Amino acid sequence: MVISSSNHYSKSNLDNVKIIPENKKNLKRFTQNGQIQIYQSSYRGSYSSIIRDSLRNAALGRKVLLVQFMKGGVNQGTANAVKLCGNLTWIRSSHSFDQYNYEEIKNNKILKESIHESIYKLWKFCKKELLSGENDQIILDEIFLAIEMNIIKKDDLISTLENRFMSGDVILTGTGIPKELLLMANQFTELRS
């Protein structure tokens, strides 16, 4: 017989719900990882709703990390993160593809290496944050483009996601999503114009 009322159960079966104090130290707390959410769009720059939601979550008291791999900012990078709402840390690559035209990057090997190094440094920071469990939500914007360009290894991302320690959600965005990552997702959303 199943009784749905917890009040009825606890009043009538007090001896069944008693916890013996000496056994409390042997109990282990299990934490569950949050969901992996993937947002795909056929074009770049279509994730304003995710940024809006991250601001709302931060204003509601959740600790949020928003990382934009392919967008650059003036004096950005991990050392110059922007803090918003007290709980949102917004980081862009200190050197990015959006700051230069394609021909300039293509013809300048040193510039291209500098951009790759900046994006990879950002990824190393993200790995630490994913494994630390200190954030309620982490958004990795355009990480699939960084994988496509061989700046970040797909297997490294998969391994990090499998070993992450956080109860919040991880949101990944991009255009071309590897099949292995689609299979890991708890939620997949395709944004259309």
Q: Describe the crossing of helices 154-162 and 109-132 by its angle, rounded to 10 degrees.
A: 10
Q: What integer pLDDT is reported at residue 29 of this predicted model? A: 43
Longest dimension (CA), the chain: 79
Q: What integer pLDDT is reported at residue 74 of this predicted model? A: 64
The predicted model scores a pTM of: 0.77
Tell me if 7 is assigned to some domain: no
Q: What integer pLDDT is reported at residue 121 of this predicted model? A: 93
Q: Is 113 helix (H, G, I), strand (E, B) or coil?
A: helix
pLDDT tens track for 31-41: 566 899 999 88
Per-residue pLDDT for 11 more than 70? no
Cα–Cα nearest to 56, from 136, 130, 126: 136
Cα 67 to Cα 99: distance, rounded to the nearest angstrom: 17
Higher pLDDT, 29 or 118: 118
Tell me if 180 is assigned to some domain: yes
Looking at the 3D structure of the chain, how many domains does it have? Answer: 1
Give residue 160's domain range. 32-191
Tell me if 27 is assigned to some domain: no
pLDDT tens track for 46-69: 667 888 888 899 999 999 999 999
Q: In what order do the strands lie in the sheet with 64-72?
A: 82-84, 88-93, 64-72, 137-141, 169-174, 36-41, 187-191
Tell me if 1 is assigned to some domain: no
**What's the token pair of residue 36?**
């992996």
Q: What integer pLDDT is reported at residue 43 of this predicted model? A: 67
Query: What does each C-alpha distance from 162 to 86, 173, 184 come to in angstroms?
Result: 29, 18, 9
Point out the least confidently predicted range of 5-9, 71-75, 115-119, 167-171: 5-9
